[in-house]
Amino acid sequence: MTEPQPEREPDPAPVRSEWPLYEVFLRGKRGLNHVHVGSLHAADPQMALHHARDLYTRRNEGVSIWVVAASDITASSPDEKDPFFAPSGDKVYRHPTFYQIPDDVPHM
Amino acid sequence: MSTDHDSPYDLLGDDHDDGHRWAFGTGFTDPLEGIDTAVPAGVDRAALARYCLALGDDALIYSHRLQQWVTRMPELEEETAIANIALDLLGQARMLLARAGGILGRTEDQLAFFRDAGDFRNVRLAEHDDRDFAELVGRLLIFSAWRLALFEALEASPDPVLAAIAAKGAKELAYHRDYAARWVVRLGDGTPLSHRRMQDALAAIWPLAGELFQPDADARAAMPPAAVAPAAEPAAAVDAVIDTVLAAGGLDRPGAAPLAGAVGRAGRDGVHTEAMGDILAELQSLARAHPDATW
pTM of the predicted model as reported, rounded to 2 decimal places: 0.81
Q: Which pLDDT score is estimated for B23?
A: 40
- B8 in a structural domain: no
For chain B, say whether A28 makes contact (Cβ under 8 Å).
Answer: yes
Could you give the C-alpha distances from B145 to A90, B211, B244, in angstroms and in order? 62, 14, 12
Cβ distance of A51 and B16 shorter than 8 Å? no
CB B270 within 8 Å of CB B121: yes
Q: Which pLDDT score is estimated for B43?
A: 82
Q: Which pLDDT score is estimated for B250?
A: 95
CATH number for the domain spanning B192: value is 1.20.1260.10
Q: Which pLDDT score is estimated for B220?
A: 72
- B120 in a structural domain: yes
Q: What are the φ and ψ backbone dihedral angles of B79, each rounded to 5 degrees? A: -65, -40
Measured CA to CA, the distance from residue B206 to residue B124 in angstroms comes to 12
Q: Which pLDDT score is estimated for A11?
A: 53
CB A28 within 8 Å of CB B14: yes
Domains of chain B: total: 1
Q: Which pLDDT score is estimated for B1?
A: 40
Position B38, amino acid:
A
Buried b (16+ CB within 10 A) or exposed e, B59-87: bbbbbbbbbebeeebebebbbbbbbbbbe
- B10 in a structural domain: no
- B24 in a structural domain: no
Position B261, amino acid:
G
For chain B, say whether A42 makes contact (Cβ under 8 Å).
Answer: yes
Which stretches of chain B score pLDDT less than 70? Answer: 1-29, 225-234, 257, 259-263, 294-295
- B12 in a structural domain: no
Task: Give the domain range for residue B141.
Answer: 38-289
The domains of chain A are located at 21-73+80-94
Q: Is B292 exposed, middle or buried (0-12, 13-18, 19+ CB in 10 A)?
A: exposed
Q: What is the pLDDT of residues B271-284, one digit of tens each?
A: 898 999 999 999 99
- B250 in a structural domain: yes
For chain B, say whether A67 makes contact (Cβ under 8 Å).
Answer: no
Q: Which pLDDT score is estimated for B58?
A: 95
Which of A18, A23, A36, A50 has the most B C-beta neighbours within 10 Å, making it the best mutation to test the interface with B? A50
Cβ distance of A61 and B182 shorter than 8 Å? no
Q: Which fold has domain A21-73+80-94?
A: Ubiquitin-like (UB roll) (3.10.20)
Q: Which pLDDT score is estimated for A21?
A: 95
State the 10-residue block means of pLDDT for chain A, 108 residues long.
Answer: 54 70 88 87 93 87 90 88 82 78 80
Q: For residue A13, give the chain B residue with the closest CA.
A: B191
- B209 in a structural domain: yes
Q: Which pLDDT score is estimated for A68?
A: 96
Q: Which pLDDT score is estimated for A8?
A: 55
